[in-house]
Amino acid sequence: MYIDKDSLIVNDLNLGSFILEAKYGYHKLWSEDSGRNLAGTQSGTLIGIFPKITVQFKKLSREELEQIASILDSATQSVTYYDPNKKKKITMSAYTGDWELVNRGILQNQGFSCAFISRKKRA
């Protein structure tokens, strides 16, 4: 939940001035014994809920892009965000999905999105 300018911090970098939108997903991962029976009743074992934060970046300047590129390219990130279930800010270890940058002319970067996906289930 993006509640103020300090609501999303990645590797000690506040993303507040870099983003247009943040989408918070809480994805359930079920074990292989899960599914529906012939009556349509769902059963199974919930492995956990894995947060995923998809960020829509604004058009970034060269300097701004240089600040975040190494973070997006790193194997893991430390992401601090407000968790409405815990009613406080928490920090999760995450990895990023792929990111692509579109240029429409020399140094005319377009906005792009990237997801920060939790490496562990939410406690």
d(CA 99, CA 113): 7
Which DSSP state fits 104? S
d(CA 7, CA 81): 5
d(CA 71, CA 9): 11
d(CA 8, CA 15): 6
d(CA 17, CA 47): 35
Determine the pLDDT at residue 115.
96
Determine the pLDDT at residue 107.
66
What angle (nearest 5°) sits at the alpha carbon of residue 54, between those of residues 90 and 71? 75
The beta strands (E) that lie in 15-75 are given as 19-30, 35-36, 42-43, 46-57
pTM: 0.85
pLDDT in 10s for each residue of the chain, 123 residues: 556 677 899 999 999 999 999 999 999 999 998 988 888 898 899 999 999 999 999 999 889 999 999 999 999 999 999 988 888 999 999 999 899 888 877 767 788 999 999 999 998
